[in-house]
Structure 1
Amino acid sequence: MEIVLIRHGKPSSANNPIVNAHGYTNWIRRYNFSDVAASSRPEIINPQYKTFYTISSDLKRAMHSADIYLNKTPEKIDPLFREMEIPRYKLPFQLKAWNWVYLSRLLWMLGFKGSFETFKQAKQRANIAADQLIEMTKKRGNLVLFGHGYMNRYIRKPLIQKGWVLKSKSNAYWGITKLEN
């Protein structure tokens, strides 16, 4: 049995402007509703994955990635597999958007709260997602999930703890993590 986790392609809105806290919030909204940039395509496509049961996060960039990679709509689209939160804190300075992401994620992982999913809740959701993927392989066989960098990383951990063997991993855009049981 195989579970393949594919990170979405680079979003069309993945630019890096200098923004304040309000601008950062707007940047996140654009990022979350973005499709994949026309210049972002997978280097290699494994045609075997077209035969796998296909799942996607409900965020546009993941669904669009499935369509680009497999030329089909996923059989299952589920918000359970969305990216872990990109936290938003009202801090009194300007940074490049991606520096906001790194700083905010660090604060989030250290336990700073806001009006979004906590890091602890996100890890619990990843554990539930891993359990669901295992159950789906029992019913559907091999599967491929089009998801997100952080979420795929935290889904991978409980899969390994439950006996799945990591065969390859990549967190890059279009990165493929393959696990076997």
Structure 2
Amino acid sequence: MADVPADHASPVIRPGVITLARHGEPALSRKVRLNAPEYGLWWARYEEGGLKDGQVPPPSLVELAKNADVIIASTRRRSIETARAVVGERAFATDPTFIEAPLPPPPWPTWIRMSPKRLGFFARFWWWFFDNHGGQETRKAAEARAGQAADLLIELSASGQNVLVLAHGFFNWMIADALKKRGLTKLLDQGHGYWSIKRFDRA
């Protein structure tokens, strides 16, 4: 078989960039003090709620979305409203694979009361280290889901498409960890604040 001339060789396709963005600030107030059972009810309302009014996404995130070939939100309302704020009338996909990892309340006596932010920290600690899942998704199951999400994003970006996910803080971190384990390189990490992003590509 004759050699293919160099100028007719198939071009090498560089994988696209994967961006994980956290949603904007939710409407549900954190200026309350709750015990563990009350926190469970508060978190259920948080999961159902949308964004606080009057927010504007960072211009850098809006610009990044313009250059994204694939845009995905989770099926939670706060994620969908974030995507709409960022992309305007442009179409985007929704996928339950990207919903937040659960936050069952810690098994504490009811006399312990604190803010949702602090209770959320301890709820995550008990879920992560002591498998306190309360019948919800376990850490092991969430890690498997994060791996599935990472594999999907890698597959979507393999053909050179830039992929943007508009989802949730802790589960985005879990996906980021799965991407790193699969050999991707972190380009940017803005932490865990609202509207923050993490970016990865294949080195």
- TM-score above 0.5: yes
Match of 1:143 among 163, 171, 192: 163
Q: CA deviation at 1:112?
A: 3.2
Between the aligned residues of both structures, percent identity stands at 27
Structure 2 CA distance for partners of 1:39 and 1:134, relative to 1, 3 Å: same
Which sits farther off after the overlay, 10-19 or 127-136? 10-19
Pick the structure with greater CA Rg.
2
2-structure distance, mates of 1:22, 1:74: 39
What residue number does 1:120 align with? 140
* Superposition misfits of 4+ residues, deviation over 6 angstroms: none
What residue number does 1:82 align with? 99
Q: 1:63–1:74: 8 Å Cα contact kept in structure 2?
A: no
What are the superposed Cα offsets for residues 128-147 of structure 1, whole Å, 9 maximum, x if unpaired? 11001111223571110001
Q: 1:6–1:144: 8 Å Cα contact kept in structure 2?
A: yes
Residue type of the alignment partner of 2:51: V
- SS for the counterpart of 1:94 is coil
Total equivalences in the alignment: 181
After the TM superposition, which residues 1-181 of structure 1 pair with which residues of structure 2 at under 5 Å, given as runs?
Answer: 1-45=16-60, 46-52=62-68, 53-72=70-89, 74-92=91-109, 93-113=112-132, 114-138=134-158, 141-170=161-190, 171-181=192-202
Q: Give the TM-score taking structure 2 as reference length.
A: 0.82
Give unpaired runs (5+ residues) of structure 1. Answer: none
2-structure distance, mates of 1:22, 1:48: 40
Q: Give the TM-score taking structure 1 as reference length.
A: 0.91
- RMSD between superposed Cα atoms in Å: 1.8
What are the superposed Cα offsets for residues 86-132 of structure 1, whole Å, 9 maximum, x if unpaired? 12245223222222111111111112332211112111111111001
2-structure distance, mates of 1:84, 1:153: 10
2-structure distance, mates of 1:112, 1:48: 37
Give unpaired runs (5+ residues) of structure 2. Answer: 1-15
2-structure distance, mates of 1:24, 1:57: 23
2-structure distance, mates of 1:9, 1:66: 9
Q: CA deviation at 1:24?
A: 1.0
